[in-house]
Structure formats: structure tokens, C-alpha cells
């Protein structure tokens, strides 16, 4: 939204494509399930300024409303509920929605594909009602009733606190928040926050929202139990095992940048993040990247990088340069997050031999352990070849075995056969035009 508004304000013709049914990405996307259905059929316009589902998050709502307003008045076209799955030719994207597919052409492209949660496999992690922390929050935002439910929140990263606070505000009981980072790292993190007064204010707000909720550092889930659905979770809490009855386990081990589309377009990646220069340009000319794919740094960094990318795409480099100082500070925060919430090695032994690691293709830890690389595991076990295309098991195997997913192929998301057939038909047509129909 920041990139689009800034570029459009410079006079460019701009469109935003987002596979959510309303603009706003992971934090600001709006409304209940009912509203969203209504939205996707009749109002494919940003509605982040109309939301009221986060009673104690007024600052975020105001910021969201400001950007939604800028997007609207600068004349940006919003294409919501549309997902980019392929780039059949340079400058052409193939996208599909509920009704069909379309091609989008561009001169300049800003990729802002966000991040997803990292899951680590442990016994019972595939039971119903065990969800990603942000995933559960998103489901509650879409209407899942959480009032009176007991939710254990576990994993690592600041998202756990944001989610626990959100769920509590919506009536959930939170028996404990388990954070794998040590008290020592968290204390250092707290002290360093004095360079970011806004974060301290957010921290105090969360502390107030979560008053009375038990917070356990050096703690992580060991196993989830239940017959048909989750009934309880065993956690390791500062070295001791404890069983906690619960209705949901909201579990996420920080975030992983969504780099599949940038990789498909040929953008260079370093250490799991898209490489960009000062103006957010990737290694592919005319393709920019902003937000979580360049480093997981939260909404402030995403907004600054988005603005730099939008201004740079519009050829207004001097405007972009004015934001470099703010961006540098926000990037320092991203590095701090990375250091504080780095995964401890004990988590590598959470999986038992029969623990499923690739849940799309039912591949267990013991089968994967026999292989030396992601590629070999894929060829022999189909790990990473199901609907999620390695989005879940890829980061898990990277942590467990130090494997690197080595290639991305189109389509980057599961796509309908008619969409793929259209690409094939078109490339055949182009081929026959080139060869004069002789092939
Ligand atoms: C599940 C989840 C919940 C989160 N909740 C919070 C929270 O409550 N508070 C907080 O401070 N931070 C939260 N975060 C962190 C948050 O993502 C970032 O701080 C911020 O949203 C980053 O902005 P962004 O623009 O980089 O990415 P995002 O906000 O994630 O926006 C990226 C958008 O691109 C869309 N997209 C991706 N690929 C495609 C494609 N191929 N075609 C079309 N659209 C595509 C995505 O669906 C998404 O709407 C959450 C993260 C996740 C993963």
C-alpha cells in the first residue's frame, strides 16, 4: 500500500494485486468472514479504514486508515482476491481469482509478498486445533469463535504476545505463553528497546493487556495430545515437563520471508532474503522488493521500504533518499529480532522418528533422516511436493537438517488446470507464430 500510494502520487498508473479479499496484508486485512464474502463479490476495494476489530489497537487502525485513504485518493486500482502464480514472459504476470485467470503487464514491479510463520514438527503437531499463532488470529478475525476457549500460545518472537493479547481481548483464556528464547536474550532485547521508544510503548500496552497471564521463557511445546482433536499439550518449562489441558495451541517459531515469487522472477536471494540495493531494486532490472521478503522487521520497516520502492519505481530517487535514515534504524530492529529470537539447538530434537515433517505428503522424520539434501529427499519421499510446495516443511527441514530448498518452479501456488492450460496454449501459439506454424 505504501509503495503503491507513493508511486501513484508521483503520477504513475498503479495497480495493487493482493490475494486477500481486502487490502492490508497480515496485520491490517479486515473484517469478519461475512463481511469478507460480501466484500469479495461486491466491493473489491480497500476497506482497512472501516475496520473495528481491534479495540485496543487505535494507532495501528489510524495508520491503516491513513494508507487506505492515500491509496484511494491517489487513484490506485486495487485487485483483491487475485493471486499471482507465474510469470510466463518478462513483464507479464499470470494471476487467478475465484472466477478465472488474467494476465497483468507491467513496466515496473514492486514485490511485497510478506512472510509466513515457521512451524517446527513435534509429536502431535498435526492435530486439529493446533494452528499457527498468526493463523489462529487470522481465523478469529474472520469469525472463528474464541470466547471462553483455553489457548496455549507457544513458539518464539513478538508475534506471540500480539496474538495472545488479541485472543484475550476476544474472550480467550491464555493459561501460558511459552517463549523458547532465554530470559538473558529477552532482557538484552528489553534494554536495547530504549533506542525505539515507540516499541517500549507497545511493550507496555501488551504488558497491560496480558496482566495476569503466565509468561515462560526457556519454554517450548514437546508434544500435543488428543484423540480426534487437541486436548492438551506437554511443554518443557525451564527444564521441567508440564501438561496443560487446552482447546487450541497457537504455535509459531517466528517468520519466514515469502521469496518464492521473487525467486521465480530471477531475483537473487541471500540467506533466505531477497537482495536489494539502496533503492530497493532487486538484481532484476525494474523489479523492486519491499517488506518482509527483504528481512523480517515488522510493519514500520515494511512501510518505509514500501515507500522507498514506490518512489524509486516512479524515478523519484531524491524523495526515496530522505527515508534512508529511518530505514536504517528500522533495519537495526530487524537484526535485533533475528538475534533475540534465533532458534535454540534443543528444538532440533523435538521430532521423534515417526513424527510427520511433510504433512502434505505424510513424510516422517525417520524417512527424511536417510537423505543428505532437500533435492534427494524430494526425489525419494515426495517431501515438499504437496499443495504447500515446501512452504511449511521447507523451513522446517532447513532448521532440522540444514538443507536448502534449491529451486522454485511455476506455478508458485497451486493453480487451476485451466490457468496452466492457457499458458501452455499461449506458448504453443507463440512458438507456431515464430516458426510460421511449421512445428
Ligand atoms: C500470519 C501472520 C500474522 C501476523 N500478525 C501480525 C500482528 O498481529 N501484528 C504485527 O505487528 N505483525 C504481524 N505479523 C507480521 C507482519 O506480517 C508484518 O509486520 C507486516 O505485515 C509486513 O508487511 P508486508 O507488506 O511486508 O507483508 P504482508 O502484510 O504480509 O503483505 C503481503 C501481502 O501479499 C500477499 N501475497 C503474497 N504473495 C502473493 C501472490 N503471489 N499474489 C498475490 N498476493 C500475494 C499476501 O497475501 C499479503 O496480503 C504477522 C505475520 C504473519 C505471517
Best mutation site among 27, 132, 206, 419 for ligand 1 pocket (most ligand atoms within 8 Å of CB): 27
With the CA atoms of 198, 204, 205 and 206 taken in that order, what torsion angle do they form, in degrees rounded to the nearest 10?
110
Alpha carbon of 26 to ligand 1 centroid (Å): 4
Rounded mean pLDDT, 74-87: 96
Mean pLDDT of 411-433: 76
Determine the distance separating the centroid of ligand 1 and the alpha carbon of 20, expressed in angstroms: 10
C-alpha 291 to ligand 1 mean position (Å): 9
Cβ–Cβ under 8 Å, residues 361 and 182: no
Residue position matching grid coordinates 515507540? 198
Which tens digit of pLDDT belongs to each residue from 183-240? 999 999 998 888 888 888 888 899 999 999 999 999 999 999 999 999 999 999 989 9
What pLDDT score was predicted for residue 57?
61
Q: Whose CA is nearest to atom 49 of ligand 1?
A: 25
Looking at residue 238, its pLDDT comes to: 83
Residue whose CA is at the smallest distance from ligand 1 atom 37: 113
Query: Ligand 1, atom 51: nearest CA belongs to which residue?
Result: 26
Site residues for ligand 1, CB cut-off 6 Å: 17-20, 25-27, 83-84, 112-117, 134-135, 137-138, 159, 162, 255, 258, 261, 291-292, 298-299, 302
Task: Tell me how far apart the alpha carbons of residues 29 and 51 are, in angstroms, rounded to a whole number.
Answer: 9
Atom of ligand 1 nearest to the CA of 290: 26
Q: What pLDDT sits at residue 322?
A: 98
DSSP letters spanning 386-431? STTTTTTHHHHHHHHH--------S-SS---HHHHHHHHHHHHHHH
CA of 372 to the centre of ligand 1 (A): 33
pLDDT tens for 358-398 read: 999 999 999 999 999 999 999 999 999 999 999 999 999 99
pLDDT at 249 over 80: yes
Separation in Å, CA 299 to CA 123, 144, 258, 327, 434? 33, 25, 15, 12, 47
Ligand 1 center to residue 3 CA distance, Å?
15
How many angstroms is it from 211 CA to the middle of ligand 1? 28
Residue 425: the pLDDT is 67
- Ligand 1 mean position to 304 CA, how many Å? 15
Centre of ligand 1 from the C-alpha of residue 243, in Å: 33
Rounded to 5 degrees, φ, ψ at 309 are -65, -45
The reported pLDDT for the residue numbered 17 is 97
Atom of ligand 1 nearest to the CA of 261: 41
Query: Has residue 54 got a pLDDT over 70?
Result: no
Tell me what pLDDT residue 56 has: 46
* Closest ligand 1 atom number to CA of residue 26: 29
CA distances from 391 to 197, 281, 332, 386 (A): 35, 25, 27, 10
Q: What is the pLDDT of residue 426?
A: 66
- Whether pLDDT at 414 is above 80: yes
Phi first, then psi, for residue 101 (nearest 5°) are -135, 165
| Cα-Cα end-to-end distance for the chain | 45
Which residue from 26, 64, 165, 408 has its CB within 8 A of the most atoms of ligand 1, so it is best to mutate? 26
152 in Cβ contact with 141 (< 8 Å)? no
- Mean pLDDT over 71-83 rounds to 96
Sign of CA dihedral 152, 168, 183, 294: positive
- Over the chain, what is the mean pLDDT? 90
For residue range 113-151, what is the model confidence (pLDDT) as tens digits? 999 999 999 999 999 999 999 999 999 988 999 999 999
CA-CA distance, 218 to 54, in Å (whole number)?
30
> What is the pLDDT, as a whole number, of residue 38?
36
DSSP string, 232-273: EEEEEETTEEEEEE-SEEEEEESEEE--HHHHHTT--EETTE
Q: What is the model's pLDDT at position 319?
A: 97
Decide if pLDDT at 31 tops 50: no
**Per-residue pLDDT tens digits for 8-27:** 999 999 999 999 988 999 88
Q: What is the pLDDT of residue 433?
A: 52
Atom of ligand 1 nearest to the CA of 23: 49
Cα(150) to ligand 1 centroid in Å equals 26
3-state secondary structure of 78: strand
Atom number of ligand 1 nearest to Cα 293 = 26
Ligand 1 centre to CA of 219 (Å) is 26
Alpha carbon distance 170, 200 (integer Å): 24
Residue 59 reports pLDDT greater than 80: no
Q: pLDDT per residue over 302-343, tens digit each?
A: 999 999 999 999 999 999 999 999 999 999 999 999 999 999
Amino acid at each position: 500500500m505504501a509503495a503503491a500510494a507513493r508511486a501513484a502520487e508521483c503520477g504513475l498508473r498503479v495497480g495493487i494485486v493482493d490475494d486477500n479479499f481486502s487490502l492490508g496484508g497480515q496485520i491490517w486485512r479486515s473484517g469478519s468472514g461475512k463481511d469478507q464474502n460480501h466484500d469479495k463479490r461486491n466491493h473489491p476495494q480497500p476497506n482497512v479504514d472501516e475496520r473495528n476489530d481491534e479495540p485496543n489497537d487505535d494507532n495501528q487502525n489510524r495508520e491503516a486508515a491513513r494508507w487506505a485513504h492515500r491509496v484511494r485518493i491517489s487513484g490506485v486500482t486495487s485487485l483483491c482476491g487475485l493471486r499471482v502464480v507465474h510469470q510466463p514472459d518478462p513483464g507479464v504476470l499470470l494471476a487467478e481469482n475465484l472466477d478465472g485467470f488474467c494476465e497483468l503487464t507491467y513496466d515496473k514491479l514492486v514485490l511485497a509478498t510478506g512472510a509466513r510463520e515457521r512451524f517446527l514438527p513435534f509429536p502431535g503437531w498435526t492435530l486439529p486445533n493446533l494452528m499457527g499463532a498468526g493463523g489462529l488470529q487470522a481465523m478469529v478475525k474472520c469469525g472463528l469463535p474464541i470466547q471462553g476457549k483455553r489457548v496455549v500460545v507457544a513458539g518464539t518472537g513478538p508475534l506471540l504476545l500480539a496474538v495472545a493479547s488479541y485472543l484475550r481481548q476476544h474472550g480467550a483464556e491464555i493459561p501460558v505463553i511459552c517463549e523458547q528464547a532465554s530470559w538473558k536474550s529477552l532482557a538484552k532485547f528489553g534494554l536495547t528497546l530504549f533506542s525505539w521508544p515507540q516499541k517500549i510503548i507497545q511493550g507496555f500496552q501488551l504488558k497491560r493487556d496480558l496482566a495476569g497471564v503466565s509468561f515462560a521463557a526457556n519454554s517450548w511445546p514437546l508434544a500435543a495430545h488428543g484423540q480426534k482433536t487437541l486436548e492438551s499439550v506437554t511443554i518443557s518449562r525451564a527444564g521441567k515437563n508440564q501438561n496443560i489441558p487446552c482447546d487450541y495451541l497457537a504455535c509459531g517459531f517466528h517468520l519466514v520471508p515469502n521469496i518464492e515469487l521473487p525467486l521465480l522472477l530471477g531475483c537473487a536471494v541471500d540467506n533466505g532474503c531477497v537482495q536489494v540495493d539502496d533503492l530497493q531494486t532487486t538484481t532484476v532490472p525494474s523489479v523492486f522488493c519491499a517488506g518482509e521478503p527483504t528481512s523480517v522487521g515488522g510493519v514500520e520497516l515494511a512501510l518505509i521500504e514500501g515507500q522507498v520502492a514506490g518512489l524509486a519505481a516512479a524515478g523519484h530517487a531524491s524523495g526515496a533518499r530522505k527515508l534512508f535514515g529511518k530505514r536504517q534504524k528500522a533495519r537495526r530492529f530487524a537484526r535485533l529480532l533475528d538475534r533475540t529470537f534465533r532458534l535454540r539447538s534443543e528444538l532440533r530434537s523435538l521430532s521423534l522418528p515417526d513424527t510427520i515433517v511433510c504433512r502434505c505428503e505424510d513424510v516422517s522424520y525417520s524417512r527424511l533422516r536417510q537423505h543428505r539434501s532437500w533435492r534427494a529427499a524430494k526425489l525419494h519421499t515426495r517431501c515438499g511436493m504437496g499443495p504447500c510446495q515446501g512452504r511449511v516443511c521447507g523451513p522446517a527441514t532447513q532448521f532440522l537438517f540444514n538443507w536448502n530448498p534449491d529451486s522454485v518452479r511455476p506455478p508458485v501456488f497451486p493453480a487451476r488446470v485451466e490457468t496452466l492450460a492457457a499458458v501452455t496454449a499461449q506458448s504453443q501459439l507463440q512458438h507456431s507464430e515464430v516458426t510460421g506454424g511449421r512445428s
